[in-house]
Structure 1
């Protein structure tokens, strides 16, 4: 009899999944969220990190690079992906990470040891139920007493609609011999339904919801999300009950803003908390019904650590954190007049209204520093010194108001937080420096891979010009030299020539370098690091 996971292994060997960083699975994020809710965890610099379903290591290798004294272990069932990841590690020459080919049903937890952070992104919903149970049992055995685990999974009720599309695509293409053919046939089925489904019906609504994702998404994503042998969404409350059977407990979401009904509708929040009180799991399950949630990124701890957890931000923890936010005013520059102004933090659609000039200046510091971080104390000092005279207040008053600001930004998803500074810069300067960790990733990247992880563990797509110039951007080369290198590459064919008919390579190269630097400024890959 074939092993339970044989079909899963064969599918990922046939069509490996894209392997890159997932921002909210970063150990730094897990530690920050745990601290926000009053549960300190292990320091990242020397932590032990385990990833289940690591693929080719695209999510784990950047962690090992950022923290040379940590120990990272990745496990995956696909030999092809593990071999690719081992090749990356060999090219990097780092010794603090290892990748293991293994079936979770057969994996010996004792041989793995204990870990401060365990990550399982894109695994739980896509394996048989007995593998899900084995995963939870392994996490309980391998998670350190103060550890934090991350599991992502598809959820109902949102996936109820998507299952109509999945079932139709499987009906038409599921029997095809390869995943690539299944995607082609599945897309054909979706096109058919787009033309023929009854207007206003549930099928038409499901097709409209999934159309862009299925038709325009990468083949590997469509194959593994919509056409995989297993895709088993569950309700959030069901997931929580399952983990409790394994001695684990719900800590929160990797994106805390997703937990807050007030971010969706103030009236919804009032009614849910009025009816359900402090039952956070029920509140969030009702919220999932209200917003038709399709996906969660849930953090877990050992059950005994969760006793008494209140799911309220610990303001004391905020005092020691580092914040980043891309805040901007709506409708003009900051005015220090004590009158309300609206601020937004794209791409987040939430906003906040601020009147106090000192708080406006704290926001100004955040905006000037983004994508780098500032601390609460730095905001207080800057605000106190620059608030002007119209509505000036004491540093003590500013401190309380900035505490409130930071709490709002975090709860509304308008700020990113860390327990340590993120040293990236908002402007490139004349001799731009790309984060050495990013340069190392790029140097080891296989030609078919297109992503690196920035200092926030967010995935950044790299272009051909990035592959050309990043190795030079260590602080020793100025913009003129970058332009000259680009001209040379255009001449000898390493970069594609202009398509606009303009044969002035210098002009084209100058524009290309300017565009690249602007992208990098927005992508948090420019560093204050010294020349290396």
Structure 2
């Protein structure tokens, strides 16, 4: 593996990987016909856990599950142990250990095993060991996750990586190395004579690096050990270890809807999922994969029908673009997610179901219950139907496509209990306050990011420690706005403070972030 010294000198940045949550892994496994281990009581292992931030988030919200993290860096593990102790996470253990020394006899078996940002950055003999650990340590119905850089898209990054490494080959100090690498990339982007294809590639990579921490660039782009894979190569390594491809960690990453009709027909001609996925990568130029897999003996269902939705709880922040959406048939309404992307629907029952799903955001609901709620909504508006079963089937087919082709609706097998009430002295959970120390992202009880990127919202979360009533919160936020010289639109914010505070507390409550 890459020397632990580099990670002790420059720690990898704090990250929370929502796509590695056991509920996500279990839900996708169930989509393809598996009976995955119970999320709330699972055993979960992360190889290369870094400073433990990912596992801390999972362990806090799943107190009856058991989590184990292993990393080679003493600095990472020291931070991880301190975090677990501070949050009193008795269900979480960390070990400073080389994976080459891990055995199933010492650690036992796990229901879910993940390795994020590890596989492409370790020597081949360590990769072989990692895959053998999955083979030996995964329970019979367990799910594995490995992320890695993928060809053909990674060829472009290889080119830039090799240039930056060549330019900085005589620089050893990490921050100086990163700074010089980015400066050189910027120089190339502005001064190349090849402007039609080469310059846009350089500028895109420069933009990508501008969004990353220096520590991530140092370890991801300038590391000594680095090896992307074609998907078929990775699948072959799985097969050699008695494992098989299950899915990507995001269902929409397997969708072919964005391709031309000719490309879709071409991809549909392959029954073998490995071949289909490989050709999909060729068509999309995929750079990065987050692959799920299981034991080879498991029989998977690749012919998934919309009845699969009955297995799940659904949640979504989806909302209609219109302030007054019309639910009548043949009236097209656009629904959008938090990023503004969305789709148009004219099916009455589906529109009502999406409307209800967005209204209860923060909660999860079974698909049959969702359809019944939508039916009641339509009937209350005088929109009846003589054949509700047909409408239910039609809505199921539409929801199936939405769930597979977009990320707007989340599927769950685990439904956490939470407090939706706003107490007289509201208190945000300790995890959220802990996360704010290291990031502007906090994770909700429903495994979603909430971005706290403005100083007023951050100050509110700091004050929500259970010692302030609403009047005190309002007074302190008002004082903060008045005295914060960097705050723009002060008068407007102060005038709107009562509404803003109500909306903020409501949003926190319905995403399960208050202490019960």
The normalised TM-score by structure 1 is 0.87
Distance 1:361 1:106, change over 3 A: same
Give the 3-state SS of the residue equivalent to 1:304 in structure 2.
coil
Distance 2:113 2:498 in 1: 40
Matched, 1:379 2:370: yes
- Contact 1:324 1:415 (C-alpha < 8 Å) held by counterparts: yes
Asked if residue 484 in structure 1 is aligned to residue 475 in structure 2, the reply is: yes
Q: Deviations over 1:17-72 (max 9, x none)?
A: 11221111111000000011110111111110000111111111111111111110
Please state if 1:299 is matched with 2:277.
no
Which of 7, 10, 17 aligns to 2:5? It is 10
Matched, 1:142 2:132: no
**Counterpart secondary structure, 2:70:** strand
1:430, distance to aligned residue in structure 2 (A): 8.9
Contact 1:18–1:220 (Cα < 8 Å) also in 2 = yes
Please state whether the residue corresponding to 1:262 is helix, strand or coil: coil
CA shift digits 1:88-145 (9 cap, x unpaired): 1111122110001111122233211100011111111111111111111111111111
Q: CA separation of 1:513/1:34 partners in 2, compared to 1, >3 Å: closer, same or farther? A: farther
Report if aligned partners of 1:262, 1:268 keep a CA contact under 8 Å in 2. Answer: no
Q: Is the 8 A contact 1:338 1:391 kept in 2?
A: no
> Take 1:216 and 1:342, find their aligned partners in 2: how far apart are those partners?
35
Q: Please say if residues 61 and 97 of structure 1, whose CA atoms lie closer than 8 Å, have aligned partners that are also in contact.
A: yes
Give the aligned partner of residue 204 of structure 1. 199
CA contact (8 A) 2:71 2:96 kept: yes
| Distance apart, 1:272 and its partner CA | 1.6
CA distance in 1 between counterparts of 2:377 and 2:285 reads: 45
Paired position in structure 1 for 2:398:
405
Deviates more, 1:365-374 or 1:182-191: 365-374
Equivalent in the alignment of 1:94: 89
The answer on whether the counterparts of 1:323 and 1:373 sit within 8 Å (CA) in structure 2 is yes
Report what 1:285 is aligned to. 278
- Alignment check: 8 A CA contact 2:19 2:249 kept: yes
Relative to the length of structure 2, the TM-score reads 0.89
Counterparts of residues 400-439 of structure 1 (less than 5 Å): 400-413=393-406, 414-421=408-415, 439=429
| CA gap 1:476/1:393 in 2 versus in 1, 3 angstroms | farther
Q: Give the direction of change, closer, same or farther, for the CA distance of 1:245–1:350 in structure 2 (3 Å limit).
A: farther
Q: Distance in 2 between matches of 1:467 and 1:331?
A: 30
* Alpha carbons 2:110, 2:138 under 8 Å: kept: yes
How far off is 1:432 after superposition? 9.0
> Which residue of 36, 40, 62 maps to 2:31?
36
Deviations along 1:152-182, one digit per CA (max 9) or x if unpaired, are 1110111111112111111112431122111
Map Cα deviations across residues 468-499 of structure 1 (whole Å, 9 max, x no partner).
433654788554331223345568xxx84454
The structural deviation recorded for 1:8 is: 3.3
Secondary structure of the equivalent of 1:148? strand
Q: 1:344 to 1:76 in 2, by over 3 A?
A: same
Cα distance in 2 for partners of 1:389, 1:514 equals: 34
Aligned residues: 512
Q: 1:379 to 1:451 in 2, by over 3 A?
A: closer
SS, match of residue 59 in structure 1: helix
Q: Quick one: distance in 1 between partners of 2:501 and 2:194?
A: 45
Residue in structure 2 matched with residue 441 of structure 1 by the alignment: 431
Contact 1:330 1:341 in 2 (8 A): no
Q: 2:73: which partner in 1?
A: 78
Match of 1:59 in 2: 54
Q: SS in structure 2 opposite 1:319?
A: helix
- Distance in 2 of aligned mates of 1:340 and 1:490: 45
Matched with 1:361 is: 352
- Residues 131/342 of structure 1: CA separation in 2 closer, same or farther (3 Å cut): farther
Q: Is the 8 A contact 1:22 1:459 kept in 2?
A: no
Distance 2:415 2:16 in 1: 20
Distance 1:528 1:64, change over 3 A: closer
Whole-Å separation in 1 of the counterparts to 2:169 and 2:498:
45
> Quick one: which of 93, 108, 111 aligns to 1:116?
111
Task: Work out the CA distance in 2 between the residues paired with 1:313 and 1:471.
Answer: 46
2:442 to 403, 427, 452: 452
Following TM superposition, by how much is the alpha carbon of 1:335 offset from its aligned partner in structure 2, in angstroms? 1.5
RMSD, aligned CA = 3.0
For 2:35 and 2:179, how far apart are their aligned partners in 1?
A: 48
